[in-house]
Amino acid sequence: MTVTSGPGEPGPLTSAPLASTLPERLYSGIGGLDTLLCGGFVRNGIYIIHGAPGAGKTILSNQICYAHAAAGGHALYVTLLSEQHDRLLANLAQLAFFDQSRIAREIHYVSAFQLLERDGLAGLLTLLRREIMAHAAGILVLDGLVAAEAYATTELELKKFIHELQMLASAADCTIFLLTSAGHMDEASEQRPEHTMVDGMIALRETTYGWRMERDIQIRKFRGSDHLPGRHAMQITSAGIMVWPRTEALPAASPAENTQGGAPRLATGIVGLDQMLGGGLPAGSSTVVLGPTGAGKTSLALHFLARSTPAEPGLMVSFYEPPDHLLARASVFAPDLGPHVADGVIGFAWHGQAEGLIDRIAFELLADVRRRGVRRVVIDGLLGFEGLALPAERLPRFFIALTGQLRAMGVTTLCTLEIQQVPGTTHRAPVDSLTPIAENLILLRHVERAGRLERNVSVMKLRGSAFDSTLRAFEIGPGGIVLVTAFGAMDNFRQRSPSDTTGG
Amino acid sequence: MATILVVDDEFGIGELLEALLQDDGHRVLTAMNGRHALERMAEARPDLVISDLMMPVMDGAALLKAIRESSDLRDIPFAMMCALPENVIGDRIAGYDAFLRKPFKLAAISALVQELLGRRAE
């Protein structure tokens, strides 16, 4: 049984298992979560979903039920607490995945609170078995495990209850989810009897960073399959739960053939610069264009993007200028850019909001690259990630992981990075070292010459290839960037930043 | 209503089958191994035996052999349960009427029981 991704969310990045010896999967219907689970929940397993009230347990489990129903399955949702079903359904009705027509047809809500009070765990087990069989349910959600625990007089009784649930899961071909908010999900709690016995544990968490709150999801235990460890970003939107795997945790894509030295070149579209680069940027490499504000970084990036073709589609991720501004700016020197956007050869991903998730941006970027076969990616500029990254110390490894994924897919990436001062004096970058992400470095700067500031470009590094290190002046006019002059030795002019007002 | 003897040393299997078969209206006896099963059969003759293969004291193969060699019990239908596939054990053990691969599916149990009880009636 397969389930398509939730609304607005790309599909899982990992493929469903193909070999018949691998365990059968129950797809959650949440693409990012199925990526964390390397293909979905192991079918007929029993899983604890843990989180504080409001963490999203009910939404997550219902979303899985509705995805299962949409794929032709049946689900049983049993509440053990005194929460009224009408209130539960009213809350779910606000979410896009909710489908009232499925209730009492493919999805059955049952309250077992009173029965548990009267007949204890044995009575609950009988009810579950009968209801699962009656509805041919492929999913059982038991909402309120803490209530069941309260009716276990001994630890052994609780273990027996969980064990019998496991038997039931296998015998009834049913995957079981137990929801609980009891205590904290930590190493100590993982020694609890119910935690040691189940096939997997999923922790939902909220963390506050100053004024911001971020949700995350973590697979704490997952028997019978590999999974992506650690914490991963999660959102609750009107579409339901969305999960964005931590970029650093994504499986390493198969590296593209290392042909940096002899790789085909992708022209930047700037004639003189392409000559300095020996024909263009090596295919499949990553380039950082450094420079202070106003130096022409975005213009250079637009030149590169404008060379996209149907055989070599492009994508621009931008943080500071919206796509219509960028298109207007580029229209004078790249008249094909607009039509290419219209016909899907070039895409824009605009992230102008002050808050966002770096992993969502990366996930969507990689998904678009796969979907459209993108070969040219522009990230304008890298500092846009800095304000979104929580915690901030993730950023260097995030960049390494993202550029690594792109490189492995054969994508030629060009990133712009604003610096305050030119190298050689002082400068700052959002990563300790650019080396892992910048195989190629292009520096743009302002220099004072003959009483005016001029823009200059130089190639600082082109990994594995010879390049022309000459410093070249350029202008940005109606034709875009045009290189005009080659300088000789550095001491022929005085370099200074725009903020440098000292005489000389 | 029929009397069915369920034999399994694993906690939970017997309870699950007992509950299912009782819901179907049968009387269910349970035993933890082959020897225990023979003792139960001395008290009440079942209409059907559903037994695990791998058990301590006396396994399912020995139980089946004992039943087939007993003039009083040899006609009782016998369903063998095992976590191994049937082609692995089929060459070594003969004489059972049905095979249930663990983990079995509850949905298949009721139909199988009806079929085996029907054979007995014929």
Greatest C-alpha distance within chain A: 93
The span from the CA of A206 to the CA of A233, in Å, is 10
DSSP notation for chain B: --EEEEE-SSTTHHHHHHHHHHHTT-EEEEESSHHHHHHHHHHS--SEEEEESS-SSS-HHHHHHHHHT-TTTTTS-EEEEESS-HHHHTTT----SEEEESSPPHHHHHHHHHHHHHHHH-
The span from the CA of B78 to the CA of A332, in Å, is 85
Q: How many residues does chain B have?
A: 122
Select the residue of A44, A130, A168 nearest B16 (Cβ to Cβ): A168
Q: Determine which of A7-16, A108-117, A155-164 has the lowest per-residue pLDDT on average.
A: A7-16
A189: how many CB neighbours lie within 10 A of its CB? 17
CB contact under 8 A, B13 and A167: yes
Select the residue of B11, B102, B106 nearest A172 (Cβ to Cβ): B106
User: Model ipTM?
Assistant: 0.74
Which residues make Cβ contacts (< 8 Å) with residue A228, sequence separation at least 6? A35, A36, A38, A219, A245, A246, A249, A250, A251
User: What is the SS3 assignment for A176?
Assistant: strand
A187 — pLDDT class (breaks 50, 70, 90): low
CB contact under 8 A, A129 and B11: no
Chain centre distance of CA A421: 32
pLDDT in tens, A284-330: 999 999 999 999 999 999 999 999 999 999 999 999 999 999 999 88
The tokens 């490189």 sit on which residue?
A407
DSSP notation for B47-82: SEEEEESS-SSS-HHHHHHHHHT-TTTTTS-EEEEE
Q: Give me the pLDDT at residue A453, please.
A: 86
Any CB–CB contact under 8 A between A168 and chain B? yes
The span from the CA of A482 to the CA of A274, in Å, is 12
The span from the CA of A195 to the CA of A183, in Å, is 12
Select the residue of A160, A163, A171 nearest B106 (Cβ to Cβ): A171
Any CB–CB contact under 8 A between A136 and chain B? yes
Identify the burial level of A373 via C-beta atoms within 10 angstroms of its C-beta, where 0-12 means exposed, 13-18 middle and 19 or more buried.
middle
Q: In chain B, what residues touch A44 (CB-CB under 8 Å)?
A: 103
Select the residue of A126, A163, A171 nearest B104 (Cβ to Cβ): A171
pLDDT in tens, B39-81: 999 999 999 999 999 999 999 999 999 999 999 999 999 999 9
The pTM score is: 0.81
Residue B12: both structure tokens together: 């939970």
Helix (H) or strand (E) holding A315: strand A314-318
The span from the CA of B104 to the CA of A170, in Å, is 7
Q: In chain A, what residues touch B106 (CB-CB under 8 Å)?
A: 129, 133, 171-172
CB contact under 8 A, A163 and B11: yes
pLDDT in tens, A373-424: 999 999 998 888 887 888 888 888 999 999 999 999 999 999 999 987 554 5
A63: how many CB neighbours lie within 10 A of its CB? 26
